[in-house]
Structure 1
């Protein structure tokens, strides 16, 4: 079987496209992932994603786009699912400094803030209800890690019937291979894998359409 077998079987043929209103989810840009002093922190792809997500959010907030921001934290190990990652079990606790949001992507006065307990930002949180109330139909997924929480969040966004965009340069992982492998697989089935420029263009187009309707 060759490398084009997925394509030959029609995977990825139909683009998701964009709808009428964007919303952005920001997944786990907490200090445990963005500061190198912590065991899981400072991966180059994650830091690139943080920088690009900050650019996206600056425009989004100026235009009034709904933003949902999350961290992952637990009261103790008894509350946790069965994580196989020692660093998660030992540091992702409510009183640990690693679970604090990175200030570069967080606005407590603007963002819907949730503390998730599972990989997806949508699982047992109020994010879907918030986006429904805001009439969001297109979700832009940002954050880390691509092979874990980004993948889970993207599949849940798809399952909730959102058009889902994942800017490659606004998500990151520990290693490049799983980052690209998971984006490739998501792009075959559930999402449009785009880039920061495309996401910004979508926000600009949406904002311009709002001004036209108000005129």
Structure 2
């Protein structure tokens, strides 16, 4: 059995309150993963984006906080980042190595930015990446609606290339139970 971590990236108040695509389902699915991970004594870690002073993700502000419905417990690690990848200029890699982690269940926001960059960085470091369906999300942009961005990245970019995109049920059964 692999040494698994559930990594929750940028699920912060200001982003969730901006109503990303499929918000309710994504949050509920992340809550199920957290519950399963905690029940099975698998580590849950959080990554929080710092977008600088005056931004909606300014450290210490309400918008910067991890979304209350999935908030970490006192013992769960939170990594602060200033770039799209959770690995770039953070201590995340050293932390995962120290814990012997080889598999990352990756969830959060935004699909085409921080989830994509973190997925590819993790892949470059040799991690097995699991992307449970309907656990990452984003917003419409001037080129594509959010649902198309979600589908494109999950099923054309990541699956069978950088990660395994599998159902929530299979993620829990294969990686978080027992």
Alpha-carbon displacement from aligned partner over 1:127-164 (angstroms, at most 9, x marks no partner): 22222122111111000111111111110110110011
Aligned twin of 2:15? 33
Structure 1 residue ranges without an equivalent (≥5): 1-18, 36-40, 78-89, 208-215
Matches within 5 A, 1:114-193: 114-174=79-139, 175-183=146-154, 184-193=156-165
Aligned counterparts of 2:151 and 2:51: Cα–Cα separation in 1: 30
Provide runs of 4+ in structure 1 moved above 6 Å: none
Whether the 8 Å CA contact 2:21–2:147 is kept in 1: the answer is: no
TM-score calculated relative to the size of structure 1:
0.74
Structure 2 residue ranges without an equivalent (≥5): 140-145
Matches within 5 A, 1:189-204: 189-204=161-176
- The CA RMSD over aligned residues, in Å, is 1.7
Mapped pair 1:45 → 2:10: no
TM-score calculated relative to the size of structure 2:
0.88
The total of aligned residue pairs comes to 171
Question: How many Å apart are 1:173 and its aligned residue?
Answer: 1.6
Whether the 8 Å CA contact 1:30–1:101 is kept in 2: the answer is: yes
Aligned twin of 2:142? none
**SS of residue matched to 2:87:** coil
Change in Cα spacing, 1:58 to 1:110, as seen in structure 2 (3 Å) is farther
More moved, 181-190 vs 139-148: 181-190
Aligned counterparts of 2:49 and 2:94: Cα–Cα separation in 1: 19
Aligned counterparts of 1:204 and 1:117: Cα–Cα separation in 2: 29
Aligned counterparts of 1:147 and 1:204: Cα–Cα separation in 2: 26
Whether the 8 Å CA contact 2:13–2:68 is kept in 1: the answer is: no
Aligned twin of 1:212? none
Q: Which of the pair has more CA radius of gyration? A: 1
Aligned twin of 1:104? 69
